[in-house]
Structure 1
Amino acid sequence: RTLADITVESEGKTVTIPKGDLIDLHIYSTNVDEHVIDEAPLELCPARPIRGDHIPPMLMSFGDGHHRCPGAYLAIKETDIFLQRLLAIKSLRIEKQPKLGWNEVAKSYEIRDFILSVD
C-alpha cells in the first residue's frame, strides 16, 4: 500500500494515488510498451532499436523509469546469494577458462563457455 499520496504523469495525463491505496502491478506489460519498444514487443530482438530518449538499450533487461522491472532487486539479490554459495564450495574447480567479451547491446562485459565442476 502507498505510504503517501503519489502523483504520476504519463502521456499528458496526471493521476493521484491516495495514501493507503493498494497498487497492483501488471507484470505482463513490463517492457512491452509499443511507444517505446516498437513493433512486436513480445518478440526477442537483442539489437532492437529503442524509440526516443526514454530508455537506453543497456537498461532494457531490468528497464528503468516507468518500465523498471519490479523484480529487479530480487533477481540481483538471488544472483548474489547464488554466487556466494557457489564460490564457497571447497571442491569447486574450473574445467574450462571463460571467453571474456564485450556486449555492445548491454554495454557490459560478458562471460561465455565458462565450465565449472564440483567433486
Structure 2
Amino acid sequence: MTYAAAGIATTREFINMAAWHLFEREDLRARFLDGSEQVQVAILEEILRLEPVVGALYRRTERELKLDENGAITTLAAGTLVKIDVRAMNSDPVASGGCPFKLDANRDVRASKASASLMSFGDGPHKCPGASVALQETAIFLDRLLRVPNIRLTRPPTVGWNALISSYELRGAQIAS
C-alpha cells in the first residue's frame, strides 16, 4: 500500500510538471506528439532529471564508508543517515553533461550506466519499483491530453513545497480547449 500511495502521489505531481513544460514549449510539445514511445519517454526522463519529484533521499550506510573529496577524507560510520540531494546530483555536469540546467531532449547520459533521469527514481536496491509504470502512464496520458483540439494552459499551477522530501506540489492549473 505504501508503494502504491507513494507512486500515485509522485506520478500525479510529475504528470502536472511534464504537462506544464509541454504546454509552455511548443517545440517540445510537437516533438513529443510526433515522436515514438521511445522519444516520448526520453523527453519525460529529461524533464524528470531537471524536475525530480523527490529531491532528497535518505539512506543509512551499511558499513563504514570513506569519502575522498580532493584529498580530504571523511569517514562515515556504519548506520550513518545520509541525505542524498537528488537535484544536485542530477545537475552535476560530470553526470549530466554540458548545460545541466537546460532541458535538452537530445541529452544522452546512458554512457554512464545511469538511467536518463539520473537519480530521480533512486538507484540500486532502493530504485523506485514503479519507475517504468510511471513513465509509461505519463506518456500515454499526456499524449492523449495534448491531442485534444485547441487544448491550452489557461492558468499555470501554483508551486508549493514539501520540505521533508524536497518535493514540489503543483496545484490549481487550468486547461481549456
Q: Give the shorter-chain TM-score range.
A: 0.3 to 0.5
The higher relative CO (CA closer than 8 Å, separation ≥ 6) is in 2
Relative to the length of structure 1, the TM-score reads: 0.42
Q: Based on CA coordinates, which of the two structures has the bigger radius of gyration?
A: 1
Relative to the length of structure 2, the TM-score reads: 0.31
